[in-house]
Structure 1
Amino acid sequence: MRLSIKKWLLLALMLLSAGLGATLRPTRFLADELPTVDLNAMVPTAFGDWHELPGTVMQIIDPQQQETLERIYTETLSRTYVNGQGYRIMLSIAYGKNQNKGLELHSPEVCYPAQGFTLTDREKTTLRILGQPIPSTRIQTHMGQRYEPVTFWTAIGDTVTSGTLQKRGVEFQYAMSRRIPDGFLVRVSSIDRDTDKAYDIQAQFANALIAAIQPEHRHRFVGDLQHL
């Protein structure tokens, strides 16, 4: 069986990491060098045309999965926002101080099927956040008559990663300095059968959200991008 170049690179990187593991074993958390994360304080409840809709219930998570999430994540935030036209966006942010193996952020591609959703489509895309490109992923999900398009991205340390290979590369770079990076997973979704409209509004929401976050905190959510 022939492996693609990407898979060979990933395999080589994993072998190199294993071979140097004892020498480069991380001993410090990047998070300990930065201000403490407080998602409720960092993420505004109102910005632009959006404001939080109090009292709304997010997706139901079974107790076993909830226990796993509490072990993996240092802090989570879940809110529903509504705009002047009555359109609702569900925001979920998960923060993990320790992005070491076994404690890594769980992608919505894993979490949604685990909750009974069917994943019907997946695509890599690029969001424009304050004029800068942010690699992200879009998935189409549904459970019964609930159709929920989702847009999400992952930031490891100061880098928004676009796939497993890049993620491992970023982790290896931090390991070279004996540090364990932290990670943010930002997910926006809406219940909408019009997928194109949903993705367009989600992109607008994401841009407005990051613009409303204080400049000194933005890089934690979208990486260290120029002019952010």
Structure 2
Amino acid sequence: MDKKEPNHINQTNGFNRRHVIIGAILAGASAIAYTRQPEVEMPVMGAKIFHELVPRKFGDWTPLSQGDVVLPPPDALRDRLYDNLVTRVYEKPGTPPVMLLLAYNNEQDGVLQVHRPEICYPVGGFQLSETRKIGIAVAGRSIPANIFTAKSPRRTEQVIYFTRLGDAFPRSWSEQRISVMRANLAGDIPDGMMMRVSVLGIDQQEAMTILTEFTREFIEASPHQLQKLLVG
């Protein structure tokens, strides 16, 4: 019996050592995972501050009442999806009024993401044309954007919009999700901004000229803080 006891002690010690080693490995893995958790890049911006950043007048454009701007569909996450949501209508002599929507959230984590217009317009009863890719020239660069026509029984609306997520300008829902995942893998939770402009009663080609020029003037007339939110 005395000869077997050391073997039993050695087995027990070996068993304990294995547990200590496994525990250390798991603790190290947990520490690494914790340190690599994505972090929010941008702080939350107060609604009042955001509204004050949006130009009331720029160039020959002056604001009207909000009008019939199509808002994103309400849902249970609406308040979390949009830290900031601004809708305005601007007019300019000799030009149809332009409807503007800005939607901003400081945290795009793959679950909470800005609605794309291709989702909210059909919910509002519109039929959409094929979405076309365009570029908007702003301050010596081309911003990737989309244009489509939305039709309902009572109106036809030409729509241009772009979204910025961190450093990316995704043009589709799949690109948007990929942009968020890439940022998360790099350790960041990007912010998200959508700028949407639209006009009623004209064809798409004429609308594209008006809306791209409006967008350029609006961004260039915006204060630096809003410019960064719009185009990075």
CA offset at residue 164 of structure 1?
4.8
- The one-letter code sitting in structure 1 at the alignment partner of 2:167 is D
**Cα distance, 1:131 vs. partner?**
2.5
Moved over 6 A (4+): none
Q: Offset of 1:148 from its aligned partner? A: 0.3
Secondary structure of 2:220's counterpart equals: helix
Describe the superposition over 1:70-109 as per-residue Cα deviations: whole angstroms up to 9, x where unpaired: 3311110000000022520000010112211221111000
Identity across matched positions, percent: 27
SS at structure 1 position matched to 2:229: helix
What letter is aligned with 1:175? N
Are positions 1:93 and 2:102 aligned together?
yes
Distance in 2 between residues matched to 1:57 and 1:168, nearest whole Å: 30
Aligned residue number for residue 214 of structure 1: 223
Structure-2 residue corresponding to 1:132: 141
Determine the structure 1 residue equivalent to 2:37: 25
Partner of 2:210: 201
* Unaligned ranges ≥5, structure 1: 1-21, 224-228
| 8 A contact 2:165–2:179 mirrored in 1 | yes
List per-residue Cα deviations over 1:2-36 (Å, max 9, x = no partner).
xxxxxxxxxxxxxxxxxxxx67432x21112x876
Is residue 127–residue 150 contact of structure 2 (8 Å, CA) maintained in 1?
A: yes
- For the 8 Å contact 1:54–1:80, the answer to whether it is kept is yes
* Structure 1 residue matching 2:131: 3-state secondary structure: strand
TM-score (norm 1): 0.77
**Is residue 44–residue 213 contact of structure 1 (8 Å, CA) maintained in 2?**
yes
Cα deviation digits, residues 156-190 of structure 1 (max 9, x gap): 12332334565445434432443211100110001
CA distance in 2, matches of 1:87, 1:145: 17
Q: 2: CA distance between counterparts of 1:67 and 1:44?
A: 30
Partner of 1:17: none
Which of 117-126 and 212-221 deviates more? 212-221
Letter in structure 2 aligned against 1:74: D
Q: Residue 169 of structure 2: SS of its match in structure 1? A: strand
- Aligned residue identity for 1:180: I
Distance verdict in 2 for CA 1:31–1:156, change over 3 Å = same
Q: Does 1:171 align with 2:180?
A: yes
Secondary structure of the corresponding residue to residue 111 of structure 2? coil
Is residue 141–residue 147 contact of structure 1 (8 Å, CA) maintained in 2? yes
Distance change in 2, residues 1:152/1:159 (3 Å): same
2:60 pairs, out of 49, 58, 61, with: 49
Q: What root-mean-square deviation, in Å, do the aligned CA atoms of Structure 1 and Structure 2 show?
A: 2.4
1:45 alignment partner AA: R
* Corresponding residue number in structure 2 for 1:147: 156
1:118 aligns with 2:127: yes
By how many angstroms is 1:220 displaced?
1.3
The offset of 1:203, in angstroms, is: 0.4
Aligned length: 198
1:112 Cα deviation after fit? 0.4
Tell whether the 8 Å contact from 1:158 to 1:220 is kept in structure 2 after alignment.
Answer: no
Determine helix, strand or coil for the equivalent of 1:137.
strand
**Structure-1 separation of matches of 2:72 and 2:116:** 15
Distance 2:134 2:66 in 1: 32
**TM-score relative to the length of structure 2:** 0.76
- Aligned with 1:106: secondary structure? coil
Q: Which amino acid aligns with 2:117?
A: P
